Structure 1
């Protein structure tokens, strides 16, 4: 079966997973796209308090990854993705219905709305942490062995589609309603509009089937014949968890300290009206277009090599790109060239196969839990606090956020280099899905010996685009 057939089959059979994932990230991105409205409605003009509200979701993400990871590894991927979509919808639509301190004044009702906002943001964090780890595990396990990179690229596409839809909806409502009505009540609409597509995704997920890998592992466990590999505990893979955390740092910081926070930075530092939003939309489209090429590169040369290259790219380009944005924030061509095109290329590199990078690190029996912990801790610590750190760093230097981006790229680069040294020395096993193609190396030179990956598909890998 060719790569194009694998991808089309995945979309046909698991559309509800992909739609739900796009919706999850739309819901998650809405708050960031409307930071100025949230700031005035809930936080009385405090920028740092507004981004603290954004960060609240990241506090709960590791807990969601752990709880739903355990649930998924024990009872199945389907149950986990059902719970995440229900919780995320409740948290999102609920935010659009809250009373606000701006509307209620100094009354207890306004304070109650603020408390509920943080509560619903925490619920979103729990569900987002479980959603991305379960979807990553699910898609990796049901995709074709030779085309996993291109199939996993669909996750990146739906993530960017969610962020793109959030920007498009907010921008369209701004044009239709104007600033005054958006501030008064229009900000509620993007939250509430998530209800209809969410209901469609929920209905579609009811008919999902478990992955063959999980089903085989479950049957072996129930029969009492599971070997030590399938019965492994996550404690045996502690170093792999650390490798996963380091591997997502570049993507986490770029996503929220680069894409999300920079939008508000440009708006407040002289950028023409709507230009940051339009450039951000162009960046998301470019990331979606480039995702399949990055996935193909991973299918040819390995997911670890792509992760290494993405860390190096952000390390080299993060600081100078932001320097240019900060130096000429009112220049339309500069905004589109850097924030639209430059950030689009970086985003595609750092974000396309990071989900597969984490999933590769763990065997089937603990894969969802391993991804849930490593990915979500990395995002919570480094991504969740990136807007706060970026905003605070402006007090030290106008170019502080750029140095933050480059430092994030360097940490991911070093993570891959150090982990590969351990792999070559035979002290680590990093690839459970495609050890024959992890860093452009054959299975004999990868440190995996003659061990086979725990995928049911062991076909000889051939790198031919579209075949």
Structure 2
């Protein structure tokens, strides 16, 4: 359980994290995720408006693809941010990184609201937009991975699924808040003013949100798992080759799960609004309201999935979600494209429920795949390389639909479903082969509990486990002694 067979586990060695402290950690970490996805929500719901502000004069379809590309290109910089912040986080602590990334993220989002339009400064407008998104990519590269590691290293083993699920609850809340703000600002100032200057207001709100998040994070202590490391372990620098050799199975599983979750995420929450408006010709405000209702539904379901995963395991939800996505993606898109409002809502609800099977458990699974010494950097780099692939989803899906539509409009409407089916296969394989992580300590870490009483129970379980192993070894020794004696009896010179 401790990751070191020579270490004697004592009651005082087991970290106890009480609920009040854990709530502070979840709030501070979740707010950073909320700010990250607040920008994604604002940007996704303003795609058409931003395409007109930063790419005027272009064909509407080309301008939309360009805006999608501006959303996707910064994902290429996330692995670089993950490598840098991950190394700092493993060497100097998770808390320091999370304090810095939330500053960088909120400032870059705030800066988007200050960029002049194409009509004012020409080509420099989209260039500055891209630069701001690149800075976001660098900061987000360390933000989500750091928050996941921090929360999971803080959470009691028997509550990790439930606690980690609140991180993506923060993500969806931020996305929902961004979409609600866009909807309200549009309703207050009107469409003409929104296209002229109103689109800036949602981006400017990120600064006060970031200030609150920074204050909360600075009040936290370092994670118990990180503090439990010896100082000389933190100073050891593992080479890339050594990390890959020791953690290649975790890296492969992480890639598959991240691609599965984020492809579904971006397809539903970023691509879907423009799909409803451009391809299915829904009213812009109507389509955005529907997506907001879907996100509200997800907020209710996701923590429940995390809670149940502590009872029934993570693998069950990953496998069920992947199978559901493979077999129900096309029926769901048929409902969405049917033209009936209730069928539309049902189709979106199916996709949202499937997505909750991933977002409710993945955050608690990923940190368990890697050892503490290199957990942050390995997870950050692997996660963000995978997100690069998934982050292309809105751009690629938009392009595929546009490319296939001249050949067959009906077929073009189902291209996103086929896209989801392919990623579902990756997730299904990962769910089948991965080891269950529920109710177990993180790799090479001490157990973490929520009370002194639970610590005693864990210690008793640990001793019971040792007794069973000792008994199994003694039985094995007896069997070997019998085999030895049988062989000795058969040899004349050994008797």
Band of TM-score, shorter chain = 0.7 to 0.9
Q: Contact (CA 8 Å) 2:336, 2:345: kept in 1 or not?
A: no
Query: How far apart, in 1, do the equivalents of 2:286 and 2:230 lie?
Result: 52
Shift, 1:453, TM fit: 5.0
Match of 2:248 in 1: 238
Matches within 5 A, 1:130-141: 130-141=142-153
The alignment yields a C-alpha RMSD, in angstroms, of 2.4
Query: How far apart, in 2, do the equivalents of 1:13 and 1:40 lie?
Result: 41
Q: Choose the corresponding residue for 1:118, options 130, 135, 138.
A: 130
Compare 305-314 and 384-393 and name the one that shifted more: 305-314
Q: Which runs of no fewer than 5 residues in structure 2 stay unpaired?
A: 1-16, 405-411, 450-454, 459-495
Query: How far apart, in 2, do the equivalents of 1:143 and 1:353 lie?
Result: 14
Q: Does 1:295 align with 2:306?
A: yes
Matches within 5 A, 1:122-271: 122-219=134-231, 221=233, 233-268=243-278, 269-271=280-282
Q: Choose the corresponding residue for 2:111, options 94, 109, 129.
A: 94
Shift, 1:234, TM fit: 4.8
Match of 1:454 in 2: 445
Q: Does 1:391 align with 2:398?
A: yes
| Cα pair distance change 1:8/1:408, threshold 3 Å | farther
Q: Which runs of no fewer than 5 residues in structure 1 stay unpaired?
A: 424-429, 439-451, 462-467
| Cα pair distance change 1:6/1:406, threshold 3 Å | farther
Shift, 1:235, TM fit: 4.2
**Matched position secondary structure for 2:181:** helix
Match of 2:318 in 1: 307
1:275-315, CA deviations, whole angstroms, 9 ceiling, x for partnerless residues? 22122112111111112221122112222332222212212
| Cα pair distance change 1:172/1:7, threshold 3 Å | farther
Match of 2:295 in 1: 284
Query: How far apart, in 1, do the equivalents of 2:294 and 2:206 lie?
Result: 23
Q: Choose the corresponding residue for 1:81, options 78, 81, 98.
A: 98
| Cα pair distance change 1:266/1:55, threshold 3 Å | same
Query: How far apart, in 2, do the equivalents of 1:6 and 1:287 lie?
Result: 28
Q: Contact (CA 8 Å) 2:26, 2:167: kept in 1 or not?
A: no
Q: Contact (CA 8 Å) 1:69, 1:372: kept in 2 or not?
A: yes
Shift, 1:69, TM fit: 0.8
Q: Choose the corresponding residue for 1:322, options 303, 316, 333.
A: 333
Match of 1:345 in 2: 353
Match of 2:465 in 1: none
Q: Does 1:379 align with 2:394?
A: no
Shift, 1:140, TM fit: 0.2
**Matched position secondary structure for 1:320:** helix
Query: How far apart, in 1, do the equivalents of 2:222 and 2:431 lie?
Result: 31
Q: Contact (CA 8 Å) 1:253, 1:408: kept in 2 or not?
A: yes
Query: How far apart, in 2, do the equivalents of 1:296 and 1:398 lie?
Result: 36
| Cα pair distance change 1:124/1:235, threshold 3 Å | farther
Match of 2:84 in 1: 67
Shift, 1:21, TM fit: 2.0
Query: How far apart, in 2, do the equivalents of 1:6 and 1:318 lie?
Result: 42
Q: Does 1:357 align with 2:365?
A: yes
Query: How far apart, in 1, do the equivalents of 2:444 and 2:312 lie?
Result: 17
Query: How far apart, in 2, do the equivalents of 1:271 and 1:113 lie?
Result: 30
**Matched position secondary structure for 2:190:** helix
Query: How far apart, in 1, do the equivalents of 2:18 and 2:361 lie?
Result: 17
* Bigger RCO (CA 8 Å, 6+ sep): 2
Query: How far apart, in 1, do the equivalents of 2:272 and 2:95 lie?
Result: 36
Shift, 1:273, TM fit: 4.2
Q: Choose the corresponding residue for 1:48, options 65, 76, 84.
A: 65
Q: Contact (CA 8 Å) 2:321, 2:358: kept in 1 or not?
A: yes
Q: Contact (CA 8 Å) 2:148, 2:367: kept in 1 or not?
A: yes
Relative to the length of structure 2, the TM-score reads: 0.79
How many residues align structurally? 419
Which structure's residues are more often helix, by fraction? Answer: 2
Shift, 1:405, TM fit: 1.3
**Matched position secondary structure for 1:185:** helix
Relative to the length of structure 1, the TM-score reads: 0.84
Compare 159-168 and 299-308 and name the one that shifted more: 299-308
Shift, 1:233, TM fit: 3.5
Q: Contact (CA 8 Å) 2:155, 2:448: kept in 1 or not?
A: no
Q: Contact (CA 8 Å) 2:158, 2:439: kept in 1 or not?
A: no
Q: Contact (CA 8 Å) 1:261, 1:387: kept in 2 or not?
A: yes
| Cα pair distance change 1:7/1:375, threshold 3 Å | farther
**Matched position secondary structure for 2:222:** coil
Query: How far apart, in 2, do the equivalents of 1:69 and 1:13 lie?
Result: 19
Matches within 5 A, 1:1-16: 9-16=21-28
Query: How far apart, in 1, do the equivalents of 2:341 and 2:413 lie?
Result: 19
Query: How far apart, in 1, do the equivalents of 2:230 and 2:39 lie?
Result: 33
Shift, 1:205, TM fit: 1.6
Q: Contact (CA 8 Å) 2:162, 2:303: kept in 1 or not?
A: yes
Compare 367-376 and 168-177 and name the one that shifted more: 367-376
Query: How far apart, in 1, do the equivalents of 2:336 and 2:353 lie?
Result: 16
1:373-431, CA deviations, whole angstroms, 9 ceiling, x for partnerless residues? 222122111x21111221122122221111111221121112222x34xx6xxxxxx85
